[in-house]
Amino acid sequence: MKYFTIPKTDIKASRIALGCMRIADKSVEEVEKLVQCALNEGINFFDHADIYGGGKSEAIFGEVLKKHPEYRNKMIIQTKCGIVPGKRYDFSKEHILQCVHDSLERLHTDYIDILLLHRPDALCDPRVVAEVFDQLYQEGKVRCFGVSNHTPLQIELLQKYSKYPIIINQLQLSIVHSVMIDSGLNMNMKEAFAQDKDGGVLDYCRLNEITIQPWSSLQASWSEGTFIDHPNYQKLNDVLFNLADKYQTTKSAIAIAWLLRHPAGMQPIVGTTSVDHLREIVKASDIQLTRQEWYDLYLASEKPLP
């Protein structure tokens, strides 16, 4: 596993992180094995949210920490708040403080390393958020702050009032779902791929040293699931297969290597719950795709180059 220091912090993080969204229906023993495997493979970064499994994901992970308190100082734990599923987004002081309180209890920990605001709240008052960040930091409950699914201007607005740097923006990105890359490549063209849907978030994050954490890196879409071995993505799977053969690895590792190859220094959050899949994926850390291979994968996902 390779590591990097998250800009504007002293946090040394693994280039690949484990996402815990899908562990809610696993047993404590299964999650214990997954966490042990991650740590053995050099993954020290774990991503959560208060809403995963309605809190169950954090709770099961917390059971593992209760059993193995010695794991805590080997881990960077990130969680998110701000979504009330099906009802609203909520960046109010009361909601954020309550979320953090509940996450700390479920996770059996005294502090969260990084707290992300999960999705933009239309009623966000950045002054209030700044106040809450300050309180959480002063109380020692949260070390660093970031966001997820935020545009550059939404980040600027938060940053205008908060003295704590926004260090992370977690965004949907895979070879197939590559909106933030497509618009840059197709700028000034009439085609739909040229449409800037995120305010130039990729370049903004690079300019401001905000680490992008791709989520759903193996997914085509919610409805289709993973593109690995999916019949709708035969061409992509052929290229993945050939590169997996060349690098003596698996298609999933090549798909993650595609993200790691981008010079923005992204930290993919992988969401497997399988020890075998995780062992395959971590191999991506040692693969350096060539420039042509990176573009071959992009083109194989049926996107144009102008």
Ligand X SMILES: NC(=O)c1ccc[n+]([C@@H]2O[C@H](COP(=O)([O-])OP(=O)(O)OC[C@H]3O[C@@H](n4cnc5c(N)ncnc54)[C@H](OP(=O)(O)O)[C@@H]3O)[C@@H](O)[C@H]2O)c1
Q: Which residues are near ligand X by CB under 6 A?
A: 19-22, 47, 148-149, 170, 215-219, 226, 228, 252, 269-274, 277, 281
Please report how close the Cβ of residue 188 comes to ligand X at its closest, in angstroms.
30
Please report how close the Cβ of residue 241 comes to ligand X at its closest, in angstroms.
12
C-alpha dihedral, 293 to 303 to 209 to 73, nearest 10°: -70
Please report how close the Cβ of residue 187 comes to ligand X at its closest, in angstroms.
26
Please report how close the Cβ of residue 248 comes to ligand X at its closest, in angstroms.
16
Please report how close the Cβ of residue 11 comes to ligand X at its closest, in angstroms.
17
CA atoms within 13 A on the CB side of 232: 9
- CB of 139 or CB of 229, closer to ligand X: 229
Q: What is the SS3 assignment for 18?
A: strand
**Residue nearest ligand X, CB atom distance:** 271
Residue type, position 170, single letter:
Q
Q: What is the SS3 assignment for 162?
A: coil
Contact 255, 176 (CB under 8 A): no
Q: Strand runs (DSSP E) across 82-218, as ranges?
A: 83-84, 88-89, 112-117, 142-148, 166-172, 211-215
C-alpha dihedral, 127 to 129 to 131 to 134, nearest 10°: -140
- CB of 135 or CB of 261, closer to ligand X: 261
Strand partners, 231: none
